[in-house]
A and B are shown apart, each in its own frame.
Chain A
Amino acid sequence: MTALLVFLSLILIVVIAIQIGKVTELAAKIRGEEEMQEIINGRQGLYMVIFMIAFLVLTAYTGAVYKNYYLGFGPMQAASAHGGKIDAMFNVTLVICGIVFVITQILLFYYAWKYSGRRTGKAKFIAHDNKLEMIWTAIPAVVMAFLVIRGLDAWNEIMADIQPGEDYLEIEATGFQFGWALRYPGPDGVLGPKNYKLISGANPLGQDWTDERNVDDFHADELVLPKGKKIRVRITSKDVLHNFYLPHFRVKMDAIPGIPTYFVFEPQKTNEEFREQLRNYPEYQVPSDPKDPNSKPKWEVFDYELACAELCGNSHFAMRKTVKIVEPEAYEMWAMQQKSYYLSNIRFKDEDPNKDKLFSAEIEARKEEFAEALDTALITAKKTVQFSYVTFATGSDKLTGVSRYELDNLVDAMKQKSGLKVELAGHTDDTGEDAQNLTLSQKRADAVLKYLRSKGIDASRLSAKGFGETQPVVANDSDENRAKNRRTEFRIVGQ
């Protein structure tokens, strides 16, 4: 029914249109073609001028209404060091083009009206004027030269890469369908290498874990950057083209699979400072949630945003990340709290190629940890120390590679303290047969003893005993607790 009505009204409109058309043809017949054309010329010429006035007035009016969205004005002042240059360039061009726009539009429509045809009128025969052509070739050429020189001056400065000796922070942004992954270099200041073939669920960026530079790299959910420091963003993509776009910082660069790109910029306003910049403008004093009039005003909840500006598929419009610019000290604090992706998600898992060895920092840390535990045992009544890092292959008495680091700590201690005598103890959880558990725990204790002897500790200072499942530290009621009960310990029997 609706379709029918729409269809009928369309037909009606068509009929009316044709009738309107016929009326004027009739008028032309009555009045004579030439007279009618003269009337039309006068009328349409007038419309042209009216249109021009309305057009220019509306341009000025809407320009004033939307002035707070102009690049470089009020709330739209750039938040980066180079942004001001872009905005200035934009505004210089705006002024020049604005002048040309107004003059040419006025001349066009004014002439159309002024020279609208009359029956008695005669057009002037003016075919060309070489002098005029020269003038209006030369003037645009000079203006363009000015804009080109200014523009390129800014461009080359903005796009310059980091110079040797400059202090900067390099981070990495990787676009994917549909989001951004952000990677920071960690304390070493260097982003580790990656290889797209290594990408997996556990390794979303394909970082190469055999390279130590990856060890301290951390991933972040928000782009947090220190104010006043040069940032070099290394921009990469996992799948299709994306574009790393920070509108408030005038930063934009494609992310290309296989070809890393970069953009260097220096944030100059923290989020709080930018909020202060916004708070004076009515556009930002409205509720942030249009459905809730009591929500906080827009300026108060403002955060910088990272967007995608290159069509990348059906959710291209939703690749948002929050950007936070903070004072350098706050940045240092934040960076210290971030956990290395490798150490918290990969270390000692199956996919860790280094699971059989420790990095020097880890060795140091564990040495300290061990020394502390031993010292406590030496001076207190609790004489048992658990090996936190001694592990065996499942179901066997074969020591894993990393176990040696902790055993070496004991070796060093026993070499220092010649009176130290220990009893090595193996414990299991309650799964499996009691007798088997007992044998396994004995074998494991023996394996540790064998290792210590191989390092030159005299057999008289060592003994080994398997306790099976007889001495749980916690009840065997969960996987977690059972793991706690599977352990190797030593007891100080003489010191």
Chain B
Amino acid sequence: MAHVANHPMTQEEELIEKLGYDDHFHDHHEGDRYQSNFINTYVFSMDHKIIAKQFLITGMIWALIGAGMSLIFRLQLGFPEESMAWLKPLLGKWIIINAETGMGTLSQDFYYALVTMHGTILVFFVLTAGLSGTFSNLLIPLQLGARDMASPFLNMLSYWFFFLSGMIMLFSLFVSTGPFSGGWTAYPPLSALPQASSGSGAGMTLWLLSLVFFVVSVLLGGINYITTVLNLRTKGMTMWRMPLTIWAFFVTAIIGLLSFPVLVSGFLLLMFDRGMGTSFYLSEIFVGGQALDHVGGSPILYQHLFWFLGHPEVYIIILPAMGLVSEVLSVHSRKPIFGYKAMVYSILAIAFLSFIVWAHHMFMSGVNPFISNFFVVFTLIIAVPSAVKVFNWISTLYGGNIRFTAASMFAIGFVSMFISGGLTGIFLGNSAIDIQQHDTYFVVAHFHIVMGVAAFFGMFAGIYNWFPKMYGRFMNETLGKIHFWGTMIGAYAIFWPMHYIGMAGVPRRYYRFDTFASFSHFDDLNKFITVAAIATFAFQILFVVNFFYSIWKGKKMTTLNPWGASTLEWTTAINPGHGNWAGKIPTVHRWPYDYGKDGKEFISQITPMEEGETPGEH
């Protein structure tokens, strides 16, 4: 099918028509049967753009559930003396009503279930699937000049395995023994023995099942991302001309592919221990009035397997955010990203190092202290490429002509959060300090800021920036800025005080603090944190409203390239159809960061080099 222009051709379209590569995509019709009716257009879609939206909206729903859970347990921590009877209609038997006083208390089991589910949902469903799933799917084909993913079918399966995984997890919230409550890391023996915790019964079985399906989803997605990046780059799109977003997604997918299977093997052995009487992780246990037969296993083995994924996982979460932020900062500063190659090398360095630092989560878990020496060294080395990235982001702002949009503000906020949370990692990575700080609120503050809040900021930057590409409309900027300031101030208000609580040695995962005189100094701070969390959550509701309102009622996009960006996704139609480009696919002639070069506002990647022009990249 030849290109049918029902409107005057834009400059971009003309360029593509002139210089683009004709892959005869539209001469074949098999692509169109992908999207012939409602079901295969919007439900079992194989179009990467739709799948991206599916990941995003599913992720948003999970974010609301996961964050809502945190509000309930924050109420318990901030206001342990207040009645929670009003939550009875929602939580049922998990609110225990005192018959005499009418006071409702959150059951301890359910408190721990909430903490566990909050972690699991946010880490896996929101910040892995919701973040990487959304933007890898949306941007990899669009920014590389590809028609779709290498395997649209596997891509569809990737979403539906994620959906299935989510449904199983959701179901586990309603089993009578309660959802799993042994922490998102699920350390055995607690996670292996229903006698030790009621959540370790049916709840844990479902938790494991759900996460195995989740890993299937990640692997199907990851294989696709890697293959697409390696094989489907358009003509002229060398690796060194890829935007940093793509580098980040590409490396993230590789990390996921190498580490998630290890998690599955760890889970598999746990399933064997739970159901088949093996003793991989269990040894010499006396529980529920009974000595178990298991001998010879090691709970530490599980921790090694878990953190062999678990640590790379935090980079799986933060690298895509870094990629999005690099891109957004550059576009809205109207400047090239500073030190493009240094940024790529630092991503690669971080990715490599992320595989040899896992045991820094285990300094105090009984591993030989000698081996910790190596993990300390590698852990603190990660600070070097991380610092390089921060300095490059700051230098990108330097001398810019910064356009303040919700997207660019969240990108700046990301850098602030990444600095604040990254620096506390230098404390915790040093094993001597970790003796005291391990499993205290200092850790909670650290990882929430650096991989929770920062990753969310990267995600928000991405959503505000690429929303027009997804829906052909803009999100409301004013609400976006209110959302930004509310979240920026709110997130610091929640997590900053936790440093003080942690320095005083207060352990995390405590249902209440008054059982210890040493830990009961912070009633006021805990109240403050809870109030800040509720307020910050309210700002996220504002975001959700803005998001859905804008899908249908947002300001319409009238030009192809509203941000003046040089990457390929902005050369497609306002609402790109199947195959992304109506005619030929664009070819690439330069790197993606020619902003402010030779007096021009920006030069798109599809624009050929002029005679005698020196390339912007080095």
Give B153-183 as 1s and 0s: 1 = Cβ < 8 Å from A's Cβ atoms.
Answer: 0000000000000000000000000000111
CA distance A105 to B412 in the complex (A): 10
B409 located at the interface, meaning its Cβ lies under 8 Å from any Cβ of chain A in the complex: yes
A-B contacts besides A140-B388, A310-B439, 4 pairs, CB < 8 Å: A71-B503, A86-B433, A123-B399, A311-B112
Report B-chain residues with C-beta under 8 Å of the C-beta of A126.
Answer: 335-336, 338, 395, 398-399
**In angstroms, how far is the closest chain B Cβ from the Cβ of A235?**
8
CA distance A303 to B291 in the complex (A): 35
Name which residue of chain A comes closest to B288, CB basis.
A239
B residues apposed to A, CB below 8 Å = 108-109, 111-112, 181-183, 187-190, 193, 196-197, 282-287, 291, 295-300, 333-336, 338-342, 364-366, 369-370, 372-373, 376-377, 380-381, 383-384, 387-388, 390-395, 397-404, 409, 412, 415-416, 419-420, 423-424, 426-427, 430-433, 435-440, 476-479, 481-482, 485, 488-489, 492, 496-497, 500-501, 503-505, 507, 509-513, 515-519, 521, 523, 542, 545-546, 549, 555, 593, 595-599, 616-618
CA distance A28 to B488 in the complex (A): 25
Name which residue of chain A comes closest to B381, CB basis.
A144
- Complex partner residue of B546 from A21, A109, A196, CB under 8 angstroms: A21
**In angstroms, how far is the closest chain A Cβ from the Cβ of B145?**
22
B364 with A111: CB separation less than 8 A: no
Closest 9 CB pairs of A and B: A258-B283, A159-B369, A247-B505, A21-B476, A124-B399, A44-B404, A151-B430, A317-B510, A123-B334
CA distance A239 to B193 in the complex (A): 9
A155 located at the interface, meaning its Cβ lies under 8 Å from any Cβ of chain B in the complex: yes
The answer to whether A41 and B291 touch (CB under 8 A), given A93-B430, A125-B335, A314-B197, is no
Report A-chain residues with C-beta under 8 Å of the C-beta of B439.
Answer: 243, 252, 309-310
CA distance A136 to B338 in the complex (A): 13
B438 with A309: CB separation less than 8 A: yes
CA distance A316 to B439 in the complex (A): 13
The answer to whether A97 and B189 touch (CB under 8 A), given A108-B419, A315-B108, is no
Report B-chain residues with C-beta under 8 Å of the C-beta of A197.
Answer: 291
A residues apposed to B, CB below 8 Å = 14, 17-18, 20-25, 37, 40-41, 43-45, 47-48, 51, 55, 59, 62, 66, 69-71, 76, 83, 85-86, 89-90, 93-94, 96-97, 100-101, 104-105, 107-109, 111-112, 115-118, 121-129, 132-133, 136-137, 140-141, 144, 147-148, 151-152, 154-156, 158-159, 176-177, 196-197, 199, 206, 238-241, 243, 245, 247-248, 250-254, 256-259, 261, 283, 288, 290, 298, 301-303, 305, 307-318, 320
Report A-chain residues with C-beta under 8 Å of the C-beta of B492.
Answer: 55
B376 with A250: CB separation less than 8 A: no
**Would you give 28 A-B contacts (Cβ < 8 Å), ordered by A?**
A37-B404, A44-B409, A45-B402, A48-B412, A62-B497, A93-B433, A97-B427, A111-B397, A115-B401, A126-B336, A128-B342, A140-B387, A177-B196, A177-B287, A239-B193, A241-B365, A247-B518, A248-B505, A250-B436, A257-B189, A288-B517, A310-B187, A311-B183, A313-B112, A314-B511, A316-B511, A317-B509, A317-B513
Report A-chain residues with C-beta under 8 Å of the C-beta of B286.
Answer: 176, 196, 199, 206, 238-239
The answer to whether A104 and B402 touch (CB under 8 A), given A86-B436, A90-B433, A311-B187, is no
Name which residue of chain A comes closest to B521, CB basis.
A283
Name which residue of chain B comes closest to A107, CB basis.
B394
A152 with B339: CB separation less than 8 A: no
Report B-chain residues with C-beta under 8 Å of the C-beta of A196.
Answer: 284-286, 291
The secondary-structure label for the interface of chain B is: helix
The answer to whether A320 and B515 touch (CB under 8 A), given A137-B384, A151-B432, A311-B190, is yes
The secondary-structure label for the interface of chain A is: helix
**In angstroms, how far is the closest chain A Cβ from the Cβ of B210?**
20
CA distance A314 to B333 in the complex (A): 50
A241 with B380: CB separation less than 8 A: no
Question: Among the interface residues B197, B384, B430, which one has the most CB atoms of the partner chain A within 10 A?
Answer: B430
CA distance A206 to B521 in the complex (A): 38
Name which residue of chain A comes closest to B424, CB basis.
A97
Report B-chain residues with C-beta under 8 Å of the C-beta of A83.
Answer: 436
B190 with A312: CB separation less than 8 A: yes
Report A-chain residues with C-beta under 8 Å of the C-beta of B334.
Answer: 117, 123
B376 with A148: CB separation less than 8 A: yes
CA distance A151 to B510 in the complex (A): 29
B593 with A127: CB separation less than 8 A: yes
**In angstroms, how far is the closest chain B Cβ from the Cβ of A163?**
15
Question: Among the interface residues B295, B397, B432, B519, which one has the most CB atoms of the partner chain A within 10 A?
Answer: B432
Report A-chain residues with C-beta under 8 Å of the C-beta of B365.
Answer: 241, 254, 256, 310
Report B-chain residues with C-beta under 8 Å of the C-beta of A252.
Answer: 364, 435-436, 438-439
CA distance A86 to B437 in the complex (A): 10
Name which residue of chain B comes closest to A319, CB basis.
B515
B517 with A302: CB separation less than 8 A: yes
Report A-chain residues with C-beta under 8 Å of the C-beta of B112.
Answer: 311, 313-314, 316
B496 with A59: CB separation less than 8 A: yes
CA distance A62 to B369 in the complex (A): 36
**In angstroms, how far is the closest chain A Cβ from the Cβ of B530?**
17
B400 with A115: CB separation less than 8 A: yes
A127 with B618: CB separation less than 8 A: yes
- Complex partner residue of A51 from B404, B426, B488, CB under 8 angstroms: B488
The answer to whether A111 and B394 touch (CB under 8 A), given A17-B545, A144-B384, A206-B286, is yes
B366 with A254: CB separation less than 8 A: yes
Report A-chain residues with C-beta under 8 Å of the C-beta of B370.
Answer: 156
The answer to whether A258 and B295 touch (CB under 8 A), given A125-B595, A158-B432, A243-B364, is yes
CA distance A24 to B481 in the complex (A): 12
CA distance A44 to B372 in the complex (A): 46
B503 with A69: CB separation less than 8 A: yes
